Amino acid sequence: MFFKCAKHRHGDFLCLERGSDKRGTMKNRRSSRRTRAAVKATALLLVLLARDYCAAQPNAAADSPGNVAEGQIMTERDQVRRQLFDMAGSGSPQLALDEARKRPDAFSQKDLLQIESLVVVTEVHWGRQQAQAIDDPDRLAQTKAALRHIDEMLTRIPDGDEYGDIRCAVLAERIGALQGVGRMQEATALYEQLSRVPDPLPARTYAAAGDAYTYLDQPRLAAPAYERALQTPVAPLQPSVEPHALKRIDVQEGLFFAYLDSGRYENAQQLLKSIAASTPLRADLADHPEDVNEDYGRVKKLQAQYLLYTDRTREGVDALDTLRHEAPFDPALISARSDASLVQQRPHEAEKMYEGTLVDHPGDIETLAGLGKTALQLNQYDRAAEVNATFGDQFPDNNTVKNFQRDYAAYRSPQLIVAANGQKGNSVIADNDWGVDTQLYSQPIAQYWRVFAHQFSGRADTGDGDSVSRVRNGIGGDFRLNGIDAAAEVDRSTGGNAYTGVAGTLGYAPDDRWHFQAGLDTNSNGLPWKAYQAGITGRTLGASARYSVDDRRYFDLAYGVGRYSDTNVNQQWTAIWYEQFLNTPRHQIATWVEFNTNSNTVTNTVYFSPLRDYTAQVTAMYQWTPWRDADKSFAQRVYATFGGYRQTDVGDSALWEVRLEQAWQLGTQATLAYGIGVASQRMDRTRETSKLIYLNLNIPL
């Protein structure tokens, strides 16, 4: 069903937004600076009031509401109509409606509905203020009441074009009410319905639609709605000192993040420059003109967040630290700085900041949501559960709360992890082989525990006309708490060389810098394929340590030892240095410098087992991210590896590898990556070129 909106709404319909500016009347100050500001504010208010008065009394016919044709004598009826329409347009529509209902001789049904539509505007406006001002369970009571009033009123509006302007005005307010109570799908559906009509809607309606699209993770649809909110001539956004009133900076901020979340970084930067140019350091309508403009502070925060969103983390952190020095107790700045610590992979640092902020601002929703997100990263699931319970269903309109609850829901979900790979052409290892490793985790049990099933299947052609396959099935448990990540499983391989074994891993991150891990497997899947073909099994033990400077640099050191059933002892040492050289919204360049050595005590074997070998190689990666949509993205990566290889009693040789990979971020904790590659290396005096393919999937179910 489509509704036709009148091209010329009654001027009084616009008065509510403007009338709110009357509360900004300036007090007299002794200083000349304050006097000039007061005079300036008074002049601005007089202009707004004069404009509203003119808008409320257009050149209209004598039968228009509240107007009398020129030359006619104003009767008592006409005076009452004008008085009550002026009252409704100046901020008291409910009182005007009550009085108008007492004069059925002066007000028609359409007149009463028109005044009542202004009551609806006021109720939705008050509902927005209440929802933002308090965090009590009844914070949405006013908005829910306004929505009930709107739905009831729509049943009383007669059909037909005569009432189309009133119906359209009420439906426009219904969009804001639906968004305010968290019914985002309904809000956007109604908005799309009204958008098919050529007549513009009020700015607040476009802003509500933009907020609804943002909540639904549809930034590509949110951006046009915000743009229209800034451009519409109907009830445009006006400067206001009224608490929690919708201001231009609110819509601009929403548009800014919609641009970023949809990958329109140039538009975001251009908008940010425009906002900065139009936002003065001092606020003309403030009670204390010498104070820094609150909107100016928001602009500076957005400039810092732009650096974070465009992957210039260090610069963004420095900018936020400067702002925090100027306003050390601003919860919004502290929350943004804590978010930056999460981006830098420093959850412990973020946790301390969030906790400190809650001491001074115990009811700050953004901070509490950030603390809950940090708790999930630190395996503090009891704290995350407390935060989730605190939010409950009280904030269906809050995007930050929604993001945390989405992360919490992902934690509460079963998890599927699949790693598959195959290669062809390296006959020293196998002519061709493939393997699939699958892990399926249950939902959390008592918050910290999960049970999982682990299955490995693989097969190889070894070049002697025969093939070998390996299947291992296991079941185990997983425990995670305060930086501890432990898992243990019992498994059994099948076939002629069936063997029962146990495996376990233990990881610990004491702070944001260090991460240690150790693992044991008595029925290893990591032996050469020709060893399995010969009936050989193996036990492996390994340990590793990582030191992370930030998200751009880390160092790894790992050691592993394997004891095979043919008495061979294999040892491996590996050192890796990771460095990120370029990180922009669409482009990234990183390198891995790796050194490793491998030794075996038995060399006369059917499988590749050099007495000792050494490898030194550099891998460079270029990533291009052409598409992004909220928490989803698509990236293409090219890896190029070059290095040298030395094998005892064989000599030195070069090695190289090239890979092409595509990676999808499918949503919260859901990733898919797959790729192909070509590699060349000399092993046992034979240089061979192999082709490889792989796939990695990690998704909550």
Least confident stretch, 259-273, 344-358, 627-641: 344-358
Q: Which fold has domain 413-700?
A: Porin (2.40.160)
Specify the pLDDT at position 7. 41
| Partners of residue 693 on adjacent β-strands | 422, 676
236-295 pLDDT per residue, tens: 988 887 888 899 999 999 999 999 999 999 999 999 999 988 887 766 655 555 565 677
Decide if pLDDT at 9 tops 60.
no
307-346 pLDDT per residue, tens: 888 878 888 888 888 877 766 667 777 778 888 888 788 8
54-74 pLDDT per residue, tens: 333 333 333 445 555 555 677
Specify the pLDDT at position 439. 98
The conformation of residue 291, written as its DSSP 8-state character, comes to S
Phi, psi for 551 (deg, rounded to 5): -75, -5
Q: What percent of the chain has pLDDT over 90?
A: 61
Decide if pLDDT at 3 tops 50.
no
Angle ∠(90,92,98) on CA atoms, nearest 5: 135
* Distance in angstroms (rounded) separating the CA atoms of residues 671 and 623: 16
Residue 49 pLDDT level (bands cut at 50, 70, 90): very low
Decide if pLDDT at 25 tops 60.
no
Specify the pLDDT at position 298. 83
| Partners of residue 646 on adjacent β-strands | 614, 652
DSSP string, 65-112: TT---TTSPPPHHHHHHHHHHHHHHTT-HHHHHHHHHT-TTT--HHHH
> What number of H helices and E strands is found in the chain?
20, 16
Specify the length of the chain in residues. 701
Cβ–Cβ under 8 Å, residues 252 and 277:
no
Decide if pLDDT at 43 tops 70.
no
Cβ–Cβ under 8 Å, residues 226 and 254:
yes
Q: Quick count: other Cβ atoms within 10 Å of Cβ 153?
A: 19
Q: What percent of the chain has pLDDT over 70?
A: 87
Q: Is the pTM of this model over 0.85?
A: no
The closest of 412, 288, 489, 291 to 669, measured between CA atoms, is: 412
Q: Which amino acid is at 512?
A: D
* Distance in angstroms (rounded) separating the CA atoms of residues 269 and 353: 28
Place of tokens 């891993």: 505
**In the chain, where the domains are located:** 11-244, 413-700
The closest of 250, 351, 353 to 302, measured between CA atoms, is: 250
Least confident stretch, 261-265, 462-466, 583-587, 679-683: 462-466
Specify the pLDDT at position 29. 35
Map residue 543 onto helix, strand or coil. strand
Indicate the class that CATH gives domain 11-244.
mainly alpha
State the chain's mean pLDDT as an integer. Answer: 86
Specify the pLDDT at position 88. 85
Specify the pLDDT at position 10. 37
Query: CA of 478: how far to CAs of 333, 454, 485, 489, 511, in Å?
Result: 37, 12, 8, 9, 21
Structure tokens at 338: 């804590």
List, in order, residues 6 or more apart from 41 with CB less than 8 Å away.
24, 25, 26, 284, 285
Average of per-residue pLDDT across 461-471: 86
